[in-house]
Amino acid sequence: MIRSRLLTIVFALLLLTGFATAADQAPPKLTRVRATVEQLEGQTLTAKTVAGKDLSLALSPGVLVLRSKPATLADVKSGEFIGCTAVEDADGKLQAKEIHILPESMRGVGEGHYPWGNTPNTTMTNGNIEQVAGVTDGHVIKVSYHGGQSAIDIPAEVTVTTIEVVSRDRLKPGTKINLFAHENPDGSLTPQFIAIAP
């Protein structure tokens, strides 16, 4: 479950970044590749995919290595930058389904409030928590972003995770990863994010 949530939020971040930086263009196609690290030498990562293909990837300075860990409602605090998936109910109120606490180094990524996925009335909100009102009792957070603010009801059973940026030295031989990359016309891959699999 944690793995699927991490994949969900990484896709959200990448896609919403596309909307935020080029709202009039479709986000670039992304490929997710499951692989196992063989070696990281300098800026070159070699890995083998689950299909047995050998990869040699140049990692630019902007490529982040991410991992996810469980968190609780007590970790949802004012000033945190979050990504929140929610469903809009019949009264127009947003009911949170998942809250992902993002690291400070990712503040601003995908900022905004957008429709999300294929499920009707589902949204993604990336922004700064301005106010927490009784969140541990299942109340409301107010999330601000460029151009607006959303009030989101937080049920007591909401799933909370923390997404961390970790150093590249975590990419040790044998580490299982999910690589998110742009696929180039020649078939080569340009990495964007690397998510360490649990």
Distance CA 25, CA 190 (A): 20
Mean pLDDT of 11-28: 44
High-pLDDT (> 90) share of the chain, %: 46
What average pLDDT is seen over the chain?
83
User: Residue 182's closest CA among 57, 67, 61?
Assistant: 57
Can you give the pLDDT at residue 21? 39
In terms of C-beta density within 10 A (0-12 exposed, 13-18 middle, 19 or more buried), how is residue 150 classed? Answer: middle
**Where do the domains of the chain lie?**
2-66+165-196, 68-163
User: Residue 129's closest CA among 70, 71, 82, 75?
Assistant: 82
Which among 14-28, 85-99, 132-146, 178-192 has the top mean pLDDT? Answer: 85-99
**Tens-place pLDDT, residues 72-100:** 988 999 999 999 999 999 888 999 999 99
Residue 24: is its pLDDT beyond 60?
A: no
Residue 9: is its pLDDT beyond 80?
A: no
Can you give the pLDDT at residue 27? 44
The SS3 assignment for 6 reads helix
Can you give the pLDDT at residue 136? 56
User: Residue 189's closest CA among 173, 198, 197, 177?
Assistant: 177
State the CATH class of domain 2-66+165-196: mainly beta
Mean pLDDT of 156-165: 89
The band of 122, judged by pLDDT with boundaries at 50, 70 and 90, is very high
